[in-house]
Amino acid sequence: MFSTADLIPLRPFLGSVREAETAKLILFGCPFDGTCSYRPGARFGPAAVREVSDALETYCPVLKADLEEVPFFDAGDLNMPPGDVRGSLDMAYRMAAAVYSNRQIPAAIGGEHLISLPLVRAALESEPDLVIVHFDAHFDLRNQYLGVELSHATVLRRIVDLFKPSRILHVGQRSGVREEFTETELQANFYPATTEPDWISKWIGDRPVYVTVDLDVLDPSIFPGTGTPEPGGVSFTTLQNWIAGLATCRWVGWDVVELSPTYDPTGVSSIVAAKIVRTMVLASLSGCR
C-alpha cells in the first residue's frame, strides 16, 4: 500500500470508497504550478474539483454508468513543496509507482501539465508497451521554454525523450510553434478536432493507454479557468464523448490538468473539470462493472 505520510487528507471526490485496499483506481491531487508560463494558480485545482464534485450526480447518462458501481479511492493531495520542481515531480512518481506496485490504476488531478512526466515514467515501468493520448490546445513539444527544460510547455517533449513519438496521439491542438505542427520526428500522430471520434479508440486498439487531459483543449468560453486559455477549442460535449469513446480501451493511468479555478469567478470551470474527472473514472474502470 502507498504511504499516506505525504498526503493531505481532504473531503474526497464524490463516490470515493472508504478503503484504499478495495479500490481498483487511486485518485490523488498534485497541487503544483511551479512552471506555469503565463498565469499560475493550477495548484488550487484539486481542492476545487473535490469541493464542487458534490454538485454532480454519481450517474453518467453518456456512459450509462454510476460512480457507486466502480471502486475508486480518493487519497487526497500530495504535499508538494512550493518552489521545488524536482522534489514535487519525484513525489508524484513515487505515488504512482506505489499504486502500480499494488496493482491499482493511478489517476491524478492537477496541477499543471508537467506532473504528467513522472506519472508517464511510472506507467512505462509498469506497462512498457503503452501508448499515450494527449488532449490539449498545445503540443507542449518545445525542447525548452525560456531556457528551461522542465516546464509545462515542454512536458510532451520530455515524454518523447522516453519513447517514440509514434506512440503518442495528439488531439485538439491549435496553438504552437511551427515545428510542433510540422516535424514528424516530434509528433507523428496529430488528430485535429474535426474528424470522426471513434478514430481515437481505433488508433489505440488493444494497446494499454495512458490518457492525459490538459483542460485548455476546451474552448475558453466554457472553460476560462485555466492558465493559458486558447480560443477555438472544443465543446464540453465533444471532449466528454472523446473520453467516453475510450471506455472499451485498457487504461493504465490518467491525469486531468490545468484547472486554475480563481480565473473563473462563476465557478463553472471547476464543475466542468469535476465532470471530466467523473467521466475519466467511469471510462477507465468500465471493465470493472
For Mn ion, the binding residues (CB under 5 A) are 113, 136-138, 140, 214, 216
In angstroms, the CA 42 to CA 127 distance is: 29
CB nearer Mn ion, residue 74 or residue 140: 140
Task: Give the three-class secondary structure for 229.
Answer: coil
CB-nearer residue toward Mn ion: 59 or 181:
181
Shortest gap between Cβ of 195 and Mn ion (angstroms)? 20
Q: Which long-range contacts (CB under 8 A, 24 or more apart) does 156-162 make?
A: 157/186, 158/117, 159/116, 159/117, 159/120, 159/132, 160/186, 162/120, 162/121, 162/124
Closest distance of CB 65 from Mn ion, Å = 28
**C-alpha torsion angle, residues 186, 175, 262, 260 (rounded to 10):** -20
Q: Which CB atom, from 74 or from 216, has the smaller least distance to Mn ion?
A: 216
- Alpha helix segments (H runs only) across 161-267: 178-182, 199-204, 236-244
Q: CB-wise, 17 or 30, nearer to Mn ion?
A: 30
List the one residue out of 146, 145, 165 whose CA is nearest residue 156.
Answer: 165
**Residue 214: CB minimum distance to Mn ion, A:** 4
User: Which lies closer to Mn ion via its Cβ, residue 35 or residue 104?
Assistant: 35
Q: How far is the CB of 53 from Mn ion (least distance, A)?
A: 23
Cell of 59: 450517474
Rounded to a whole number of angstroms, the minimum distance from the CB of residue 255 to Mn ion is 10
Q: Catalogue the E-assigned strands of the chain.
A: 7-8, 25-30, 59-60, 65-66, 72-78, 105-110, 131-135, 168-171, 189-191, 209-214, 251-257
**The three cell numbers locating residue 76:** 487526497
Q: How far is the CB of 227 from Mn ion (least distance, A)?
A: 8
Q: Which is nearer to Mn ion, 77 or 112 (CB)?
A: 112
Quick one: 99 or 137, whose CB is closer to Mn ion?
137
- Mapped onto helix, strand or coil, the DSSP state of residue 96 is helix
CA distance 151 to 30: 15
Gap between the Cα atoms of 41 and 34, Å rounded: 9
Q: How far is the CB of 133 from Mn ion (least distance, A)?
A: 13
Q: CB nearer to Mn ion: give 192 or 287.
A: 192
Q: How far is the CB of 156 from Mn ion (least distance, A)?
A: 7
